[in-house]
Amino acid sequence: MLIPKQGVTILELLVLVGIVGVLLALLLPAVQSARESARKVTCKNNLRQMGIAIQSFHSAHQRMPSLYNGSFTANGNTLTFPKRYWDEHHFHSWQVALLPSLEQSSLYESIDMTTAASDPKNQPNVNVELSVFQCPSTSNVTPFSNVRNFAPNDVIGTAARSDYEAIGGIHLSSIANENRQLLGTNIALGAWGLPLQTIPKDATYYNVETTRFRDVTDGLSNSIILAEMSGRPDPYVRGKLDEDYEEIDNISKPAWAISGSYHAIVLSKKFGVNETNHNGIYSFHASGVHVSLADGSVRMLSNSTNKAVLQALTTRAGRETVSIE
């Protein structure tokens, strides 16, 4: 009596492989979508934590955190705020001021606020990567930003990057003077105000504006205070690396611990949502960009958001009536 052999034929195996392939093709987009949904929730929560931390700081100090914190000696002068354009790149950032409210008190206490954030003494601190400052959806070529000297502008270290930035307003005109300082007449101010406000006749000395929530006359729920500017220090345009543009860390603050140019947090009128991470709000979420409003709430602005609406949300006293869907 012959006993038939148990097993599958090549044809049956090919059919089985084909079925598995079809199932995987159907399931993979769903899995990727679920992962991105989880990443979006994390990103939104990061901004919510920072928004609440700003609210706590304001309650304690009756003002918003400064964009330029600490004091240090440079070129024989003791600086407590920027006097020149390049001074802006060496203070401790607004994110440093929030550390105690973000359960990072030990890191905050280890930072030497009496030396420049760019000083080699602070290298162990500024290179600490904090998940609250990074969106999990971001794809980066460069994981750390460069830290530069005063003069010459040489790279002297690195700093952990950040995907979130303060939003300073909307550009109205070009650079104001030989020191590349922006004035109140050059921008429509955002919730943070203008940190370089008073200019005497010699045009070399600038006072820091103390900004309070009461200055946001458009309403805290109608004014963006933070937003995603993901991907820096690498320049991105509509999802692709812009190989023709220089590193953004030459002019911006892609690192969480070190302050940067006020120019870089003032948005351009010509850019909408998710067009570029240079003077524009930008993320690696396909549907839009998360923003934190001055009342602490977090919303996602879709890629189709009208530029006029974005500009109205960016300014603090434009008297516009806007609605976020």
199: pLDDT strictly greater than 50: no
Residue 45 within any structural domain of the chain? yes
Residue 107 within any structural domain of the chain? yes
110: pLDDT strictly greater than 70: yes
Mean pLDDT of 221-232: 94
What is residue 7's predicted lDDT score, i.e. its pLDDT?
62
Structure confidence by residue, pLDDT tens digits, 304-322: 999 999 999 999 987 777 7
Q: Which run of H or of E encompasses 165?
A: strand 164-166
What is residue 1's predicted lDDT score, i.e. its pLDDT?
53
Structural domain of residue 217, as residue ranges?
Answer: 32-314
What is residue 149's predicted lDDT score, i.e. its pLDDT?
82
Average per-residue pLDDT in the chain? 84
What is residue 204's predicted lDDT score, i.e. its pLDDT?
46
What sign has the CA pseudo-torsion 26, 137, 36, 279? negative
For the chain, what is the domain count?
Answer: 1
Displacement of CA 9 from its chain's centroid (Å)? 58
What is residue 203's predicted lDDT score, i.e. its pLDDT?
46
Least confident of 37-46, 196-205, 252-261: 196-205
Mean pLDDT of 71-77: 83
Return the amino acid letter for 103: E
Residue 3 within any structural domain of the chain? no
Mean pLDDT of 108-126: 94
Residue 203 within any structural domain of the chain? yes
Structure confidence by residue, pLDDT tens digits, 3-17: 555 666 777 677 777
What is residue 200's predicted lDDT score, i.e. its pLDDT?
47
What is residue 299's predicted lDDT score, i.e. its pLDDT?
95
What is residue 251's predicted lDDT score, i.e. its pLDDT?
60
Residue 295 within any structural domain of the chain? yes
Instruction: Determine the Cα–Cα distance for residues 180 and 309; give it in Å rounded to an integer.
Output: 28
CB 138 within 8 A of CB 286: no
Quick one: DSSP state of residue 131?
Answer: G
Mean pLDDT of 186-206: 63
Residue 321 within any structural domain of the chain? no
What is residue 250's predicted lDDT score, i.e. its pLDDT?
59
Structure confidence by residue, pLDDT tens digits, 240-276: 888 777 666 556 778 999 998 888 888 998 999 999 9
Concatenating the DSSP letter of every residue in 64-108 gives: PPPSSB--EEETTEEESS-SSGGGGGSSB-HHHHHGGGGT-HHHH
Residue 101 within any structural domain of the chain? yes
For the beta carbon of residue 270, count every other beta carbon within 10 angstroms.
11
What is residue 122's predicted lDDT score, i.e. its pLDDT?
95
What is residue 21's predicted lDDT score, i.e. its pLDDT?
76
What is residue 31's predicted lDDT score, i.e. its pLDDT?
56
176: pLDDT strictly greater than 80: no
> Pairing between strand 288-293 and 224-228?
antiparallel
% of the chain residues with pLDDT over 90: 47
202: pLDDT strictly greater than 70: no
Residue 153 within any structural domain of the chain? yes
